[in-house]
Chains A and B, each alone.
Chain A
Amino acid sequence: MKVTININGKDYSADVEPRMTLVDFIRDVAGLKGTHVGCETGHCGACSVLIDGRPVKSCLMLAVQANGKRITTIEGIGKDGGPNEVQMALSSSKALQCAFCSTGFVVVGTWALEENGELTEDVIKESFIGNVCRCTGYEPIIKALRGVRKND
């Protein structure tokens, strides 16, 4: 089936099997490997991407379901060619460890900041309720992001 998905502003078209998951389309068809596969059942958030600005778990979606949609992956996140506020906060705090989860955290965190204007402790705990970080115990991530505001 012919599928066209706009990822990070660029159209990717391919003839794919309807059973192909969106995350496989992103990784294997578009070749964007920053979106990771961690659990395959929607319980870890490593595969989080944005569709029309809202987070989805791309392992629980078929590529055909996203046909014609606009998607932002980690590779399309940033600000003025550099890191955005969430990326900067995570980078300077050295909060990450193995970093397999981090692209998912950045994607969801970017949405949460856009949605709320500021990352309070409550916003952080509610927004990342579906993202697993196995290394840090979350506390360094909470500390790094708490108080981050959107700079326009």
Chain B
Amino acid sequence: MIDRSERFLHGETRFVQDIELPDTLYLEVLRGPVAHAKITSVNGGISAKDLGLKLISVGESYRRGSGYQSEPVFATEKILYYGEPVAAVYDKDRYRARDMLESIDVKYEELDPVVTIEDALSKPPIHEGHTDNIVGRFVIGERFDKKGEVTVEDELSMERIVPNPLETRGIVAWYNSGKLNVFISTQSVYSIRRGLAGALKLDERDIIVHQVDTGGAFGSKSAVYPEYVIASYISMKERKPVKWIESRQEHLAATRPGRGAKANLRLYANNDGRVIGVEGKVYVNVGAFADDLSSTAPSWISSQITGPYAIENAYIEGLSVYTNTAPQGPYRGAGRPEAAFFIERLMDRLADAIGMDPAEVRLKNLPSGAFRSPTGLEVNGSREFFEKGLNEIGYWRMKKEGRKIGVSFGILIPAVYGGESAKITLKDGKASVWLGGAPHWQRQELFVKHILKDVLGIDQEKVELLNSDTAELNVGIGTWGSRSAIVAGKAVYMAALKLKEDAERMGIRDTASLLNSGLSAEYYEPENLDPSFISFILTAAEAELINGIEPRISRCWAYYDVGEPLSQEAVHGQISGGLVMGIAEVLTEALEYDKKGIPVARTLSEAGVAYINQVPEMHITFVSYGRSRAPHGAKGVGEAGTVGAPPAAARAIELITGKRISRLPLDRATLI
């Protein structure tokens, strides 16, 4: 059997851009050319008026809270962000479809755009019928009086980031014999099925979603987007396959970006370094439309603001706000890096204020036993882990040598909620495996093979992990939030155990017979967060100056708790990938808007993604600081690097430039 990686090295791919069905129609989308405008007319193509009121909303089935403004399929009365779909055209010739876009005439009157969080709080509401631009208000923790001997405060922010997987988004929708077949690049076929059913008013049983090879996602391929609804709608109308492939420029303008968070925080402490409490405000820019995830982001960030530390008091007010920018979504880490950046920057500030080593200050505040934070988060004791980690990476030795090392301590809370499903079929001499979380090859196949070898004694080369598919596995969740190794791993493990029992009952003893037995097993069970799932991460960085002025990270260290590591390569690759993304977030990567709310970057390079010349020397160590509650003991790792790297890298740069860093990406004005 050809391993997937073998297939790819020879170019035998099945990405959505590679799928060509007979009679395909190619879809192109006309997008809002300004961030905020009143539409006076749209002539040509299909637009909001053609869909009818019933098909107006993309996120219908995601809406649980009330009052959120969820996303329309096409802009209706107003254009609310640059890149918002306004109309669409299609043709059997892809080049002609692109030409047809120019025949659509949109007339509009520009309105004052609300671009930043500050704009949102001071300018009139962007949505009709709203009194302000506030989406949600949250209070986390309780007010406290004890303020201590030292107060440090800062305004900290992390700019928006476009996920920019190397493969953009794309879909082939084919309505055929009463069923909508969807071939898609996604993190979750179930999320796509639910979203399309809601938007198109179809029964979920009439939608079959097939994941095709998915070229990265980083959060951007979990939700349903307007183009998916448009493609499906046209296919239902024309009864032909409809294909849409996003251009990079569309991705940079309209795919959900992550981050876009700001905090005004105060940390109260005593001169001995003990922190008494943290207090302040956390804001998140949700963009023009909200869903449950984006609107509650300030609450999610604030709930983990105390990190691994035994901080007794916390009182945070969270606000999510609308702006005339693309709707916000998850980006690798999704709230975890924000919380870590906020608290870790304050820890460094405190260390400077009292003249203590930053690692020492952190150790002072770590509990040795389990701790329940004032925000309700249960975290195990981590002092021993971080003490050991500092020694392992040589922190104290390097410090003695006069080297300037930035360090961050963090927690990684995996999104285990909901659990996950898996199916294993033993047939034709091989084991075929499907997961609920659509793999885009964060090396899930490595842990799947590991588990099947472990439980059923099946050799690695006899195991194939297939793309996620609602036709094979009817229930499931998705891949995100550092969850796959834990919940999908557990589901595979449990399904394998079931097969083992079945095989024993049937008297099958050798693996050859087992692999031809035709046995199949599915497993699904919801999961809840447990402190044993939370892993600890210690990250350190050292910086240097290029041409005596521009910082780069020259070395970094990761000492991460991954529970039972299921595959060395998989864990290593997840960490190195996360670290480099985290470093890029400090130095180069951001979705910046001009004053009119138009994204500045028009290419991957301008978006500031990391290239090979940005890679530091890496020292990656992973250890098991206790197994997780899952039967196979795994913890999460996918987002560890993006949580740990930004504060460590920011500190390392601060140490060589002497200029304080409070916002990401680095403001070059602070370098002179």
Contact = CB atoms under 8 A, between A and B. Distances in A.
Interface of A: 17, 19-20, 27, 32-41, 43-44, 46, 73-75, 77-78, 83, 87, 90-91, 93-103, 106, 124-125, 128-140, 142
Contacts, number: 172
A131 B613 CA distance: 11
Contact of A129 (B6, B578, B612): B612
Given A134-B218, A134-B609, A40 B247 contact: yes
A97 B604 contact: no
A99 B95 contact: no
B431 to A, nearest CB: 19
Interface string B64-100: 0000000000000000000000000000000100000
B78 to A, nearest CB: 30
Given A100-B166, A125-B613, 7 more contacts: A33-B15, A34-B11, A36-B166, A38-B168, A38-B604, A94-B570, A99-B441
Interface in B1-40: 3-6, 8-13, 15, 17-18
Contacts of A94: 5, 443, 446, 569-570, 573
B186 to A, nearest CB: 13
B442 interface: yes
A79 B604 CA distance: 33
Interface in B600-627: 602-605, 609-613, 615, 618
Contacts of A91: 3, 5-6, 9
A32 B12 CA distance: 9
10 cross-chain pairs, A with B, having the tightest CB-CB distances, nearest first? A34-B11, A100-B215, A137-B580, A74-B11, A137-B576, A99-B8, A33-B18, A94-B569, A98-B216, A137-B577
A140 B9 contact: no
A139 B580 contact: yes
Contact of A33 (B13, B442, B443, B570): B13
Interface residues of B, number: 55
B5 A138 contact: no
A97 B18 contact: no
B191 interface: no
Contact of A132 (B10, B95, B576, B609): B609
Contacts of A142: 612, 615
A36 B167 contact: yes
A27 to B, nearest CB: 8
A35 B214 CA distance: 15
B165 interface: yes
- A74, A128, A134 interface centre (most CB from chain B within 10 Å): A134
Interface string B558-583: 00000000000110110011111100
9 contacts: A34-B13, A73-B11, A94-B443, A96-B9, A129-B612, A136-B576, A137-B576, A138-B611, A142-B615
Given A36-B13, A75-B10, A125-B612, A133 B166 contact: yes
B321 to A, nearest CB: 29
Contacts of B602: 41
- B18, B168, B573 interface centre (most CB from chain A within 10 Å): B573
